[in-house]
Amino acid sequence: MRFRIASHIDLNVLRLPVFFLILLVCTNVQAQQGESKDTAAVPVVDAIDVLQHVFKIKEKPADAQSASSVSLLPVIGYNPSLGGVIGVNTVIGRQFGSPENTGYSVYTLGITYSTKGILTLQARHNVFRPQNRWNLQGNWQLSYYGLADYSLGTGKSDYCDDGLNVGGIPVTESDSTFPVKYNYVRLYEKVYRRIGDYTYAGLGMNLDIYNNINDVKRTDEFSTPHQRYSEKHDYSTEKYSANGLLAAFQFNNREHPIRSYGGNYFEIGFRFNQKWLGSTKNSTQLFYDFRKYISLSERNPEHVLAFWHWASYLTSGELPYLELPYTGSDTYNRSGRAYTIGRFRGPSYAYFETEYRYPITRNKLIGGVVFTNFHTASDDEGQKVFSAWNFAIGAGLRILFQKRSRSALCIDYARGNCGTSGLFFGLNEAF
């Protein structure tokens, strides 16, 4: 069996925008060299310490501490199409080997339910076996799902009246919003084998199955973007699948997977959707995820400048509409703060984010972030990726939940250039 990569790929998809390179150059500035020498001597305090103090709970001795950590975050929201949303996200961390040579393993479990019957169960894991010989990454989801669609591409002024959203869910719906509900099954599993000090080679499988798709605004007289795209590319408007194999390479020397103060993470690979695995059509995609962390202070390493770039490019074949990469389609659905999940979508999609993280209190209990992000996507009418952009800026607070795992409660507010703003809650950093 041969897999063909299309020869007409736009070379722009392999080039970082100039602004991102400028930001990387700026990281050489060591902005915090003048800090007080006694800053590092202040004991670090987390939310658990505060609760123990308030309720007079004795702290366990260090040798009695569990190798695992657990963090919980409630989910609350509202949307006219989805109704009231309630749920909980759980993050579990565990050390399977010596911290000197084994990465920290993270499991994420989540369940949400809405008053209009939207139900999502999701489990994700990033597990490092002793000495990092193996790295297992997975993302499993079973949902009766709903999202607000806004058609394809970026930079379009006729779809720019979003308003406020909470956690990526729009509080109100405008004429430019096209709600879609559907049953969704996702099964991703990748297995990496260490081949060098920080390098891994991996294989995997992906199953993305959509059925009972309901275009809420579709009528006999009115068509939706999902309907028009599906009919143009000979997809059913009610069900389809994108199932295939993955081959990837990874470089990872981050000093911590939850809240890194330094290092790099880079993954690049190809996805091969194949009919013989149940995919509606054959297609190939190039994807990559780049993250860089630079501490700006030796005495106070929590001052961090962080960069994130992830992208997915269609290199041959066709993808069903709901499988096209979009805002928030990264593994943990944290990209695109300011915008709703699914706000920008296209056959090829690229995302950039820069964030400055810093402690506010000397005991590190409360920290802050400022960030900016950029989106670009192709559409189905000739617009190329990198030819039109949308961006956002924002700031937030971090409350250190558990110092041992570096888990933190995140509260962010962001505004975009498309008439949108958002309030976002999360466990651990966005990237």
pLDDT the model gives residue 30: 39
Determine the Cα–Cα distance for residues 156 and 218; give it in Å rounded to an integer: 22
Give the up-direction half-sphere exposure of residue 287: CA atoms within 13 A in the CB hemisphere.
19
Which run of H or E residues covers position 50? Answer: helix 47-54
Torsion of CA 312, 314, 320, 325, to 10 degrees: 20
Helix (H, G, I), strand (E, B) or coil at 415: strand
* pLDDT < 70 regions, the chain: 1-40, 58-67, 78-82, 157-161
User: Of 409, 322, 405, which Cα lies nearest the Cα of 368?
Assistant: 409
Structure tokens at 347: 């056959």
pLDDT the model gives residue 44: 87
Q: What is the CA radius of gyration of the chain?
A: 22
How does strand 169-170 pair with strand 178-194?
unpaired
Burial of 247 (0-12, 13-18, 19+ CB in 10 A): middle
Determine the Cα–Cα distance for residues 208 and 231; give it in Å rounded to an integer: 20
Place of tokens 């992906």: 206
C-alpha distances (whole Å) from 98 to each of 60, 103, 130 are: 21, 8, 7
User: Of 252, 426, 227, 424, which Cα lies nearest the Cα of 338?
Assistant: 424
Per-residue DSSP letters for 61-124? PGGG--SEEEEEEEEEEEETTTEEEEEEEEEEEEE-S-TTTSPEEEEEEEEEEETTS-EEEEEE
Domains and CATH numbers, the chain: 41-427 (2.40.160.50)
- For 214-260, how does the pLDDT look when each residue is reduced to its tens digit (9 = 90+)? 998 888 888 999 999 999 999 999 999 999 999 999 999 998 888 99
Instruction: Give the angle 107-355-403 at the CA atoms, nearest 5°.
Output: 45
258: left (phi over 0), alpha (psi -120 to 50) or beta: alpha
Give the start-end residues of each E strand in 221-348: 240-252, 263-273, 283-295, 304-317
pLDDT the model gives residue 81: 62
pLDDT the model gives residue 67: 62
Phi, psi of 214 (to 5 degrees): -125, 110
Largest interatomic CA distance in the chain: 71
Phi, psi of 13 (to 5 degrees): -70, -15
Determine the Cα–Cα distance for residues 390 and 154; give it in Å rounded to an integer: 6
**DSSP assignment, residue 26?**
H
Determine the Cα–Cα distance for residues 303 and 127; give it in Å rounded to an integer: 27
Determine the Cα–Cα distance for residues 347 and 6; give it in Å rounded to an integer: 14
Residue type, 250: Q
Determine the Cα–Cα distance for residues 205 and 228; give it in Å rounded to an integer: 30
Determine the Cα–Cα distance for residues 111 and 123; give it in Å rounded to an integer: 9
Torsion of CA 349, 241, 150, 327, to 10 degrees: -40
Alpha-helical runs (H) found in 140-238: 225-232
Structure tokens at 207: 């199953």
Burial of 369 (0-12, 13-18, 19+ CB in 10 A): buried
